[in-house]
Structure 1
Amino acid sequence: MKKLIALGFTALLGFSGALHAAEYKIDTAGAHAFVQFKIKHLGYSWLYGRFNDFEGRFNYDPAKPEASTVNVTIKTASIDSNHAERDKHLRGKDFLAVDKYPTATFKSTSFKALGDGKAELIGTLTLHGVSKPVTIAVTEIGGGKDPWGGVRQGFHGTTEIALKDFGIDYDLGPASQIVELTLDIEGIAQTMM
């Protein structure tokens, strides 16, 4: 019984130690983070894709979630819809114009905890040379120590953007104007605050 209590106490200490404020680097090197999208193709099916090259950091303190910040940079040429010819078209002037706009960025302006692991993240998305506010629905996946002595924190986010809001007006029909974004982010603590 004493051993069980000691194990429980140790686990509690380990858990509470992971609950400190920290700056996290998004774990793209280990492929534990994803920026994915889907859009209707002519209204007949879903087209899925992702961006393979991005980086970012976030600050998170579970005791003061409203102080959280997020900064992400995406290399637009890394778009991948699993079809080389389509990706070439998406990189061109009709869509992302990656030669002119090689990056897209997101910088948070506020984070509002809604309870039960849910939150609302608001920030500025700059895409195709246009900056607009976006709201991301966030769910905390979890956080704590990893097997290598680090501390990790993960979130899932979703939002929708209208292509025309960002100056992309290639006509794929009325059912193909909205892009759904799914963001799965796992960060590794760099500094405890």
Structure 2
Amino acid sequence: MLELSPDLSGEWRFDPTHTRIGFSTRHAMVTKVRGAFNDIEGIAYVDVEEPSNSKVSVKIKVASIDTRNAQRDEHLRTNDFFDAPNFPYITFESTRIDQVGDTSFIVNGNLTIRGVTQEVGMPLEFMGVERDPSGQLRAGFEGTRRIDRQQFGVKWNTALDSGGLLVSDKITLEFEVSAIKVEKS
């Protein structure tokens, strides 16, 4: 069983080269489209003794969206979806963190997409902590959360001949976070 040791307390920065914040959604009601954002900044302050004092802040550059299809990515950056020129970042600021199991947490906070802020709870599982070959202390967290894109003003769609819609309103957010502890000098 993983244990939350006092070593975890302190400041942690997301390692963008080993962190994935992605999403998936139904396309044409029969398949899934998956994507991720390649430009991510995140910082967490962890208080193991009092998890409710912990906090997380994440900033994602919308223009870094990558669904492995350049034409689709360009469309997602337009006003039809994320409107990257006017809303260049998706942000998340925690307001409360609840420990709901030995290594399970709900990170509650304000998610802002297209200038619309909604309070959401993000379930995260602590995956462990290890020193990497360069001596840095790394912690891993994973989780998923479904949201309704319409609640954030992401409304574009087109009808299918069958009566369904091209893009599902339900989006699954996917988090795989590798954070490096900021060592005090």
- What TM-score, normalized by structure 1, do the two folds share? 0.85
Distance in 2, Cα, partners of 1:16 & 1:140? 9
Number of equivalenced pairs? 176
> Which is higher, the Rg of structure 1 or of structure 2?
1
2:182 aligned counterpart, secondary structure: strand
Give the partner amino acid of 2:10: A
> What is the CA–CA distance in structure 2 between the aligned matches of 1:24 and 1:57, rounded to whole Å?
6
CA distance in 1, matches of 2:9, 2:113: 30
Aligned identity (percent) is: 33
**What does 1:1-193 correspond to in 2, within 5 Å?**
19-28=7-16, 31-172=17-158, 173=165, 176-191=168-183
Moved more, 177-186 or 56-65: 56-65
Q: Indicate conservation of the 8 Å contact 2:44/2:55, yes or no.
A: yes
Runs ≥4 in structure 1, deviation > 6 angstroms? 15-18
1: CA distance between counterparts of 2:145 and 2:4? 31
Give the TM-score taking structure 2 as reference length. Answer: 0.88
Deviation at 1:147, TM superposition (A): 2.6
Residues 18 and 143 in structure 1, CA contact (< 8 A), matched pair in contact too: no
User: Larger deviation: 79-88 or 53-62?
Assistant: 53-62
- TM-fit CA distance, 1:145: 2.7
SS at match of 2:29: coil
How many angstroms apart in 1 are the aligned matches of 2:93 and 2:151? 17
> Which protein is richer in helix relative to its size?
1
Q: Secondary structure at the match of 2:7?
A: coil
After superposition, give the CA deviation of every residue in 1:127-147 in whole Å (9 maximum; x if it has no partner): 011011111111000114333
1:128, 1:175 → 2: CA distance? Answer: 18
Residues 144 and 153 in structure 1, CA contact (< 8 A), matched pair in contact too: yes
Q: Which 5+ residue runs of structure 2 have no aligned equivalent?
A: 159-164
SS in 2 for 1:176: coil
Could you tell me how far apart the structure 2 residues matched to 1:99 and 1:64 are? 40
Query: What per-residue deviation string (whole Å, max 9, x for no partner) do you get for residues 11-38 of structure 1?
Result: xxxx99872411001011xx11110100
- Whether the aligned pair in 1 keeps the contact of 2:4 and 2:48 (CA below 8 Å) is no
Amino acid paired to 2:115 = G
Aligned letter for 1:101? F
C-alpha displacement of 1:175: 6.8
Tell me the CA shift for residue 151 of structure 1.
Answer: 1.5
The aligned amino acid for 2:12 is Y
